[in-house]
Structure 1
């Protein structure tokens, strides 16, 4: 059954709009994410380290459909190798190119296992993109960035939703992070240029 996030769910801040919501039953099939949303999300918000938002079913306000946590960040182009720097600056006019660009970090994102495979993840990402591109957004934000779990399902999700790898290969990323080449890379740095949405709309 198709579920429309914007039509069938209520949205708000975990600590403001849903401060009495019981998150202990939330399960997105990822122990690390579950632990964060259940035990740390409220603390992060109170310490101003990240703010968590929730979609709950209108028909059952205790049923969490999905959650995500965002915080201020930046994409530091000046620290990147030339090839990566050119990639980031590709769609930015030379006059406006900067050493770093304002970004929002998607620190955590999870869809309840009850709704996995029903298009909720894509709807959620479309919402986040539109939310930070909206003219009423209180701060400038050019990019969305994420340290995606280096797992097939997570990487596939972000690629499907238009994110790009900041580094083409894991080897490049390890060198950038000064990691030993025999160490596992647990996450991959990825980014999305919000202005690409406006260009797509213009072309359509």
Structure 2
């Protein structure tokens, strides 16, 4: 995505003020600083209408901050000599569906696209996992779970404790992951 798309397309809103603000004001700065790259899909018959937007960046899953059971689960299918302290991942930093296209399965289709993108032979980076830092409320958490993402930590308290957050406060987001190895035959 570039500034031209933002200037020539109809205003995009996914109905979440924070996400809308990011796509409108911060996405291009993230790109310029090499922190994340935002992509969008537009309608074929109306290319000024943005259907969805998402931002990706490189990340990793740190096994050293994950409780033993979860760490073993992540490492289970990785050959012992290849086990590492960090596993390469791609962070879906932001994902928004235009309010006019909600409840049509576009979010799930978008996640399927992203998943297939990173297991494609032409992909230029290796990554084992997709991760999201999903808003900690029912709708986004259910959405990612429906799309086979799992919680990196089994409870909010465990996540707060292991990542050094204030355990007295409810977390704003929850870390979730998807193992891309599910999609490969190797």
CA deviation profile, 1:98-146 (whole Å, cap 9, x unmatched): 1111110100000001000001001000000000111111111111011
Partner SS state of residue 153, structure 1? helix
The corresponding residue for 1:64 is 50
Distance 2:164 2:95 in 1: 27
Q: CA deviation at 1:37?
A: 0.4
Q: CA deviation at 1:19?
A: 6.4
Q: Does 1:167 align with 2:153?
A: yes
Q: CA deviation at 1:78?
A: 2.4
The corresponding residue for 2:114 is 128
Aligned partner (choices 123, 131, 134) of residue 148 of structure 1: 134
Distance 1:142 1:21, change over 3 A: farther
CA deviation profile, 1:30-80 (whole Å, cap 9, x unmatched): 111000001111111111110000100011111000000000111111232
Q: CA deviation at 1:177?
A: 1.9
TM-score by length of 1: 0.86
Partner SS state of residue 48, structure 2? strand
Q: Structure 1 or 2: larger helix share?
A: 2
Count residues in correspondence. Answer: 186
Distance 2:120 2:149 in 1: 19
Contact map agreement 2:66 2:152 (CA 8 A) in 1: no
Partner SS state of residue 38, structure 1? helix
- 4+ long deviations beyond 4 Å: none
The corresponding residue for 1:178 is 164
Q: Does 1:31 align with 2:17?
A: yes
Distance 1:21 1:147 in 2: 30
Please, which runs of 5 or more residues in structure 2 have no aligned partner? none
Distance 2:126 2:169 in 1: 36
Q: CA deviation at 1:16?
A: 8.0
CA deviation profile, 1:158-185 (whole Å, cap 9, x unmatched): 1011100000111101111222322120
Distance 1:16 1:140, change over 3 A: farther
Please, which runs of 5 or more residues in structure 1 have no aligned partner? 1-13
Contact map agreement 2:3 2:28 (CA 8 A) in 1: no
Question: Aligned-pair RMSD on alpha carbons?
Answer: 1.6
